[in-house]
Structure 1
């Protein structure tokens, strides 16, 4: 069987974001399930596809709003209003529908589509109606857009996010309705998308790599707590604002917090122990240098890849309940609380008594459950023979 994996950005091997990590895990699982997978989409400027023999590249594009010029942002808004598309999808109209259709035809005979998230599928929706499809909902995008609207700092942003929410809800409903099967990354997202039945959907437990992270002896602790993320992504920004505004004031003055990742304007902290370090050369080494990892999600849907990585590494953590969505097993060195003062006290306690665990069992469970879910989706798509699961 041959599947066309339709995505906005094709894997380049860098795994620089949670979205890219999730895509790599899903594509690998599809192939383990017996499918031949060809990926179609764009590359980042200056990047090349990691698997060029099985990838159709439509061109290079940078879809990040924060790095776009003001004229380009206005052009995107204008095109979105004129076309009736979402702001996220109109960015991908850098090529025509005819170009995409030609690229699909050149991919060769195939049996179905895997529509990976709503952005690209929403930009060229009509092109993907000729074959059966699986829809992969990384998030419930319309709910995230509503949360972004509520947290927006300006009237223009609030109106734009409200418009996104209205349009995204309609598109997500159509994609789910047409799909033979829907994959979500968190259990609660199935109900939010109206596909809670086991006959219609399943959750994909994710991993950050094909193998569990290797342990290389005792860790060198450089700080009490470390956070790293794409803070310009609004759901992440909401969590960081909560952490800096609500949790950090309860921490001792000598508690050291290092925060890596590109910071949007307006992010500051008066706490003497908070340090912003921008980008770091090795994200895994950065988090492994911390006594405890704060998992601070308070908005959004889908799964938190930083939570999965923390559990795979066996690192101590303090997590909000939203940080654990999509995860069935919580290791013993993870404390869960949504109260800011309790969160701060738990961080201090964990940093004072560092307790790592073996994360390989968590990784193994995730891979096994992921493969079971993928096989179920492929069977529903009707492109694989039924096989008895080992």
Structure 2
């Protein structure tokens, strides 16, 4: 039993529900879940996590009920590495993601954990894990124990409706399915916000959006931390290729819509200016080949084992999402690699950088493209930007601070 100044105290017993074992961390959502779980595990807590195993690098035995203890002592109860299909969700009240995530082990693991053990707090990590809410609320038997926390990654109601509205190139059945799925996400997230004891959000803007509808809820902003490589001495030179890079994971439909919208506006002017546009990130090969065929001047690299070589060999990093909200974790990759950031103003919510001496932000895509074409050859300006932005963010994005904030907020409930 832990002690402080000679006094014994009990660790907080926490059950954490997330989508899958988040390592390797190769998407923004996995980075955020992994960062929060690891940081929270460093506080005064006994942490158990229910999730699916990782399909790329499983740590369990491949069954729907395997166990694993990581280096921090976190106990993982893992479902199958592979998820089931989405089609069955059409006849349920669950969004397609939730339908897939609850089956294959996690639903049974949660029922057992609630039946056989007692918990001080249960964290619902991502709206897609809202499938668990009903059993969690019933398990409290009219009490307010255990405390329930919804750890949001995005304002899902807003984003899912945007995606359904903008998916105009999809078939009619696909568009109808997206609309139905969006409304299921809306209902599920609203139930979470109404019934948990604490809602966390990734930016202050999203907290404000939640508060507009659920004014009596408790909120906590938890921007991401950063534990990747830092290159404080990197500088851009005339020898650096006239290249701009856009990194990310391009598997989710919103990410693909954003990419296609950007390329339709940017590929031609960048090519005419002799600027190489490079897209680096995880996607399926069919989508990568489709983009490469439509935009032959764009270098769509796809998934790579390490982003650093690409970030250090470019002159600017782009953040150009028009759909979706939240904090873009690739912004921290850019800034900590001393790569100048250029983006749409609304797409970099949560960053402390606002000055044009630190980052290049514009309100529209055409104006951003024009300014990038001008800025890419101003090497002294690019290095001034990276020096100023690196200094501002150097100590501002520590994961351990986020874990401590969450622990303190839960303790105060």
Q: What TM-score, normalized by structure 1, do the two folds share?
A: 0.84
2:143 alignment partner in structure 1: none
Q: Point out where structure 1 has 5 or more consecutive residues left out of the alignment.
A: 64-71, 382-390
CA distance in 2, matches of 1:31, 1:245: 44
- Distance change >3 Å, CA 361–CA 241, structure 1 → 2: same
Tell me whether 192-201 or 16-25 shows the greater mean CA deviation.
Answer: 192-201
CA distance in 1, matches of 2:410, 2:310: 38
Deviations 1:223-280 (A, max 9, x none): 5111122212122112211210112332242211111232553424766642121222
Alignment of 1:1-390 (within 5 A): 1-12=12-23, 14-45=24-55, 46-48=57-59, 51=70, 53-63=73-83, 73=85, 76-77=86-87, 79-92=88-101, 93-95=103-105, 97-103=107-113, 109-120=118-129, 122-129=130-137, 130=140, 131-152=146-167, 153-194=170-211, 200-209=218-227, 213-215=230-232, 217-218=234-235, 221-253=240-272, 254-261=274-281, 262=283, 265=287, 266-268=290-292, 273-330=297-354, 332-354=357-379, 355-356=382-383, 357-358=386-387, 359=390, 361-367=392-398, 370=402, 373-381=405-413
- Distance change >3 Å, CA 98–CA 20, structure 1 → 2: closer
Contact 1:39 1:56 in 2 (8 A): yes
Higher radius of gyration, 1 or 2:
2
Q: 1:56: how far off? A: 2.3
Q: 1:144: how far off? A: 1.5
2:62 alignment partner in structure 1: none
Task: Give the root-mean-square deviation of aligned CA atoms.
Answer: 2.8
Q: 1:161: how far off? A: 1.4
Contact 1:33 1:374 in 2 (8 A): no
Contact 1:287 1:293 in 2 (8 A): yes
Contact 2:123 2:151 in 1 (8 A): yes
Contact 1:227 1:287 in 2 (8 A): no
Q: How many corresponding residue pairs? A: 366
- Distance change >3 Å, CA 96–CA 206, structure 1 → 2: closer
2:63 alignment partner in structure 1: none
CA distance in 1, matches of 2:22, 2:302: 24
CA distance in 2, matches of 1:163, 1:241: 24
CA distance in 1, matches of 2:45, 2:351: 26
SS at match of 1:183: strand
- Distance change >3 Å, CA 89–CA 371, structure 1 → 2: closer
Contact 1:317 1:335 in 2 (8 A): yes
Runs of 4+ in 1 over 6 A off after TM superposition: none
Contact 2:292 2:298 in 1 (8 A): no
Q: 1:105: how far off? A: 5.5
Q: 1:19: how far off? A: 0.9
SS at match of 1:91: helix
Deviations 1:318-356 (A, max 9, x none): 111232123333463311113233212222233212324
CA distance in 2, matches of 1:273, 1:298: 22
Q: 1:312: how far off? A: 2.9
SS at match of 1:290: coil
1:386 alignment partner in structure 2: none
Q: 1:310: how far off? A: 1.8
- Distance change >3 Å, CA 247–CA 269, structure 1 → 2: farther
Deviations 1:98-135 (A, max 9, x none): 343224566x5431111101112x23333322321111
Contact 2:80 2:105 in 1 (8 A): no
Deviations 1:68-106 (A, max 9, x none): xxxx64xx22x2123221111111212373343224566
